[in-house]
Amino acid sequence: MTATLLILAIVVVTALAFDFTNGFHDTANAMATSIATGALKPFTAVALSAVLNLIGAFLSVHVAATVAKGIVNLDSYDLSSGANGVPLDGQALLLVVFTGLIGGIIWNLFTWLLGMPSSSSHALFGGLIGAALAAMGTAGVAWSSIVGKILIPAVASPIIAALVSATGTFVVYWISNTIPSKVKNEHFRHGQIATASLVSLAHGAGDAQKTMGVIFLALVAAGEANAAERIPTWVIVACAVAIALGTLSGGWRVIRTLGKGLVEIESPQGMAAEASSAAIILTSAAGGMALSTTHVSTGSILGTGLGKRGAEVRWGVAMRMAAAWLITIPCAAIVGFLSWWLATGVTSVSSITVGVIVDFILLIAMAALIFFRSRVNPIDASNVNEQWDADAESVDSSIRRAEPAVAGPVAQKH
C-alpha cells in the first residue's frame, strides 16, 4: 500500500467516525420532544430514528456536492502540478480533510459531554476552514460559498423555524382548545411519531451527505476520483450506515437538554416543532443548502414556547446554546488549524504519513478521555426524562443537582 492510500484509508475511517458522532449528537433534533412527552419510549425512539436516518441518506446528494466543492477551494491549486503558487500535492489536501475532521469530531464530543445541542455541520465546516487556512491561506477557502450556503442560513434558519413553529403551535391550540387536555395530548402523541419520523428522514437526507462530501473530497485529493464525477455508491452506503449506528447509540445527554431544558413540552407543541423542522430541513436539502438540523430543531422547540400561551421558555439555556453556536466554527477551525501544524511539524509536507498517524493517535486518546469523563455522571434512557433544574448550565450539572432528591443506592450510582 502506498503512503497516499494509507493516508486515504485513515481519512475515510476518521470521516465515518465523524458521521457516527453526528448521529448520536443530533438524535435529539428528531426525538427529544417525543421522548420528553412520552410519545415514544427512549430506545424505541432512537431505533426508529436510526432506521429513518439510514433511508434518508439515499434521498439526495445535493448537500454532499456543496460540501465537496463549496468549502475548500479546489481551484486554488492544481493537484497534479502544484500550480497557482500553492505548493501542495494530493497528500497535503488529504491532510486538510483529515485535520478538518479532527476539528469537527473534537467539538462534537466536547459539546456532547456538556449536553449542548451544537451543530455537527458547523463543527465540520469550521474544522475544514481552519485546516484549509493553515495549508493554503485565505485563497484555500471558498468564502463566497460559505457565506451564501452556510453562514446566512445559520443565522436565518433558527429564526424562521421559531416563527413557523410558533405560528403552528398557536393554530394547533386554537383549533383544539375545546378538547380536554388528556384526550388532546393522547391524540397528538400519535402525530408526534409521524412528525419525528419525518425529521429523522430529513436528518439523514441532510447530515449523512456532509460526510459523503468530505470522503469524496479525499478521493479527489488521492487521485481516486474526479471532481466532476458523481459520488460513488460505496461512499453513500458507508455514510448511511455510520450515521444510523451513531443514532442508535443514543446521544442521551443532548436529548435531555433539548427535551427538558429549553421548554416544558406538551404533545401538541412537540408535533408542531417537529413538523416545522422537517419541512425546513427537507426543503433546504433539496436546494443543496447545508443547513444545521440543530439550529432548525432548536428554533422550532423555542417557537413552541412562544406560540403556547403561558409556556415557560428557559432563556438562560437558550442563550447558552446561542453562545455555543457562535463559537462552533471558530473553535473547530482552531482545532483543525493546530492539527495541521502538529502533523506538518512532526514531518515534512512532502512526507506526511507520520504526522497523520500522530494526529490519529491523539484523536483516539482525546475521544477516550471525553468518554471516560462522561461516565462520571452518566445520562441514559433511565434518567433522560428526570426533572430539569432551571439553574443548571448543562446536563451534567442538572443531574448532579438532582441527586439529593434521590434516595439510597440510586444517588450513589451517580
Mind listing the pLDDT tens digit for each residue in 221-244? Answer: 888 887 777 888 899 999 999 999
373 CB neighbour count, 10 Å cutoff: 12
Q: How far is the C-alpha of 341 from the C-alpha of 99, rounded, in Å?
A: 9
Residue 29: phi and psi, rounded to 5, are: -60, -35
pLDDT (mean) for 368-373: 94
Q: How far is the C-alpha of 207 from the C-alpha of 293, rounded, in Å?
A: 8
Yes or no: say if 265 and 37 are a contact pair by the CB < 8 Å rule: yes
Q: What digits encode the pLDDT tens for the residues 171-205?
A: 988 988 888 877 777 788 888 888 889 888 888 87
- At residue 167, the pLDDT reads 94
Name the residue with higher pLDDT: 411 or 313.
313
Single-letter residue type at 128: L
- At residue 410, the pLDDT reads 42
Q: Global pTM? A: 0.84
User: DSSP letter string over 91-133?
Assistant: HHHHHHHHHHHHHHHHHHHHHHHTT----HHHHHHHHHHHHHH
pLDDT (mean) for 367-388: 89
Yes or no: say if 131 and 100 are a contact pair by the CB < 8 Å rule: yes
pLDDT (mean) for 56-81: 60
Single-letter residue type at 253: R
Single-letter residue type at 211: T
Name the residue with higher pLDDT: 46 or 286.
46
Q: Report residue 403's pLDDT band, with 50, 70 and 90 as the boundaries.
A: very low
- At residue 185, the pLDDT reads 79
- At residue 290, the pLDDT reads 61
Integer-rounded Cα radius of gyration of the chain: 21
Query: Residue 261, Cα to own-chain centre: how many angstroms?
Result: 19
Q: Report residue 381's pLDDT band, with 50, 70 and 90 as the boundaries.
A: confident
Q: Report residue 83's pLDDT band, with 50, 70 and 90 as the boundaries.
A: very low
Yes or no: say if 169 and 268 are a contact pair by the CB < 8 Å rule: yes
Name the residue with higher pLDDT: 180 or 70.
180
For cell 421522548, the residue is: 35
Q: Report residue 49's pLDDT band, with 50, 70 and 90 as the boundaries.
A: very high
